[in-house]
Amino acid sequence: MEAAAQEKIISVINEKFEGEIIEATMLTDFFTIIVKKEQIVDIISHLYHHPDTKFQFLTTLCGIHFPEQNQIVVMYQLHNMVTNQRLRLKIFLSADNAVTKTLTTVFAAANWMERETYDFYGVIFEGHPNLKRILNVDEMIIFPMRKEYPLEDQTREDKNDLMFGR
């Protein structure tokens, strides 16, 4: 994305939400903006309706776990289909209390994506109509994609360490 388009997006956000942007960079050819977590839904809604940006397609919504900083990031990826611009918004949440507002009021597609983020990272989305596990077994008590949980199935007792590179 050229610098002019980046400036445009930043100025659109700053129109109403002065001081919410923490950082705006090109992260390997993808424009990424880190914003404060409180007004993220309003910011996305503003970008949705504003005639200069019109990001009216939610490509994806997912979580990232940084165990060293004890933070969980919720990443929103938006797309303007008319001008073919893509934007990535990130909010940083504390891993002990990962709570944020739901995006289902702006994008209906966020429904299942937020359920998946809850299922794998444990992020609670306030106001979500049906926040329960979507891909894992309902009785699971851990959030598997967090880096403190092992990938492998723990119930096997027949593993040969030599074969598994240990």
Partner 1 sequence: MEATADKIIVGEKPEGIEGTGFFATRLDKVVGLARKNSIWPLPFATSCCGIEFMATMGAHYDLARFGSERLSFSPRQADLLMVMGTIAKKMGPVLRQVYEQMAEPRWVLSVGACASSGGIFDTYSVLQGIDRIIPVDVYVPGCPPRPEQIIDGVMKIQYLVETESLRRRDSAEYKAMLNKYGIE
As measured in angstroms, the least distance from the Cβ of 160 to partner 1 is 12
Amino acid at position 32, single letter: T
Choose between 2 and 156: whose C-beta lies nearer to partner 1.
156
The length of the chain in residues reads 166
CA distances to 27, 39, 111, 142 from 20, in Å: 19, 8, 25, 33
Stretch that binds partner 1, among 25-33, 55-63, 123-131, 134-142 (CB under 8 A): 134-142
Choose between 30 and 149: whose C-beta lies nearer to partner 1.
149
- Using a 10 angstrom Cβ sphere, with 0-12 exposed, 13-18 middle and 19 or more buried, the burial of residue 124 is middle
Q: Under a CB-based contact definition with an 8 Å cutoff, are residues 126 and 99 in contact?
A: yes
Binding mask 3-42 for partner 1 (x = CB under 8 A): ----------------------------------------
Residue 152 near partner 1 by CB under 8 A: yes
Residue 153 near partner 1 by CB under 8 A: yes
Closest CA to 34 of 79, 93, 101: 93
In angstroms, the CA 123 to CA 73 distance is 9
As measured in angstroms, the least distance from the Cβ of 151 to partner 1 is 6
Residue 122 near partner 1 by CB under 8 A: no
In angstroms, the CA 143 to CA 76 distance is 20
Of 27, 81, 99, 135, the one binding partner 1 by CB under 8 A: 135
Report the interface residues with partner 1, using CB under 8 A. Answer: 135-137, 142, 144, 149-156, 159
